[in-house]
Amino acid sequence: MDAGNDPDPPTHHGPLRFQVPEPSARPGDEPDFSYLDVPPAGDTRRPEVSVDPHQIRDLADAMIRVLDDDGNAVGPWAPGAELSADAMRRALRAMVITRAYDDRMFQSQRQGKTSFYMRSTGEEAIAVGHALELGPRDMFFPTYRQQGWLIAREWPLVDMMCQIFSNERDRLHGRQMPVMYSAKEAGFFTISGNLGTQFIQAVGWAMASAIAGDTCLAAGVVGEGTTAEADFHHALTFAATYQAPVILNVVNNQWAISSFQGIAGGASSTFAARAIGHGIPALRIDGNDYLAVVAGIRWAAERARRNHGPTLIEWVTYRAAAHSSSDDPSKYRPQDEWKAWPLGDPVERLATHLGQIGEWSPVRQNELDEEAKAIVRAAAKEAEGYGTLLDGHVADRRSLFEDVFKEMPAHLRRQRDELERLT
């Protein structure tokens, strides 16, 4: 029988089913991270930085971990993460100040001193690691959750806070929402609110560095949700085509506002695996393990500097706080999910390691926590003295017309004068 001619052919299949992935736990459920395969620390091999990407496809499904549950540095990636105790304490300090800064600025938002805030709690190691491991002339293309870079690079907290408060000292003149910093001198690219645009720009910057015969590289960051954007795929295509000296970071913190990582296709394969079709080496790394963070960045940076091209790194971490001050995670995920996160807290894990090698103690941690709060409190006091959204000490409205172009064209001068005449 020719089924093609039968107006109502018999079918052996049932109706098609539209499939929408669901997270493992919702509010009221027990947190369930059974979907995450966490290998023991030290279990994943470390290839040479010059390796042919096709030889390490398995690493896209593995997880590079250096610190074990007792805080020992183990396995093949440990030597690549060698740091002096001072260097580790510096990183720990940057993470702790970042956390204190986030808590303080979140409170400021609740007090009405600013309109908006975004915390990076739980994923501080990734930005801090980049800041301390990349060079002074390398360029970082961050998302809005990498304030740890600026703090690790000792960019003045007061300056950051003036941006948060949009006050008269805000170097961005109140043009950008809070947390959208720009700090070229600190190697920190201006943050966009449009997700993923910076990823392909990082590739362009890296291409330019290679075109110019320079020695510096770029590092771009997106969240796992943003891997769905075209710019992510453009970035991989261009980076692979021109073997651009760039580190392509995907911070998989499990949640894009209320959408779990499966909504970006994370249930079908890892985000690291997105690199494989492009012939880009993929590393998947425990993002809450500071030593693994350092080891991964060093590997990718060394590869790029030796003209072996880009690396894509998926950082497995967890967004412990709300997406932003406008978000309420209790509406879509278990309240205590963060406590059940199998990769722990990056601050505690680095502190434990330092304690394990006799370079840290609970007393010193307590002192550091208190010192960080005091530093942040003092900076906030000073920044608030320059104004906040509450007291209206914001940039002069005339500045609204500046920097649209290098030189102000006649039509903008006319509009500025028109605003000026309004009382």
Residue numbers at the binding site for other proteins (CB under 8 A)? 139, 141, 171-173, 175-176, 180, 182-184, 189-190, 192, 194, 197, 200-209, 211-212, 218, 230-231, 234-235, 237-238, 241, 403-406, 409-411
Nearer to other proteins, 204 or 387 (CB): 204
For the bound state, the minimum distance from the C-beta of residue 174 to other proteins, rounded and expressed in Å, comes to: 10
Rounded Cα distance, 117 and 319, in Å? 14
Contact 188, 170 (CB under 8 A): no
CB of 227 to other proteins, least distance (A): 15
- Residue with smaller CB distance to other proteins, 190 or 259: 190
- Distance CA(119)–CA(340), nearest Å, equals 19
Distances (CA, A) of 345 to 69, 73, 267, 342, 358: 12, 16, 24, 9, 20
Choose between 171 and 398: whose C-beta lies nearer to other proteins.
171
Least distance CB 414 / other proteins (angstroms)? 9
Minimum CB–partner distance for residue 149 and other proteins (Å): 15
Shortest distance, position 199 Cβ to other proteins, whole Å: 8
Task: Tell me the closest approach of the beta carbon of residue 175 to other proteins, in angstroms.
Answer: 6
Please name which of 275, 219, 215, 213 lies closest in space to residue 247, comparing C-alpha atoms.
219
- Residues 216, 207: contact at Cβ < 8 Å? no
- Between 85 and 208, whose beta carbon lies closer to other proteins? 208
Question: Is the Cβ of residue 199 or residue 255 nearer to other proteins in the bound state?
Answer: 199
**CB-based contacts of 92: which residues, under 8 Å, 6+ apart?**
290, 347, 350, 351, 354, 360, 368
Nearer to other proteins, 77 or 205 (CB): 205
- Minimum distance, C-beta of residue 404 to other proteins, in the bound complex (Å): 5
The minimum distance between CB 187 and other proteins, in angstroms, equals: 12
Judged by beta carbon, residue 51 or residue 408, the one nearer other proteins is 408
CA dihedral of 160, 296, 200, 242, whole degrees rounded to 10: 140
Q: Least distance from C-beta 396 to other proteins, angstroms? A: 14
In the complex with other proteins, the residue whose CB is nearer, 211 or 390, is 211
Considering beta carbons, is residue 175 or 397 the nearer one to other proteins? 175
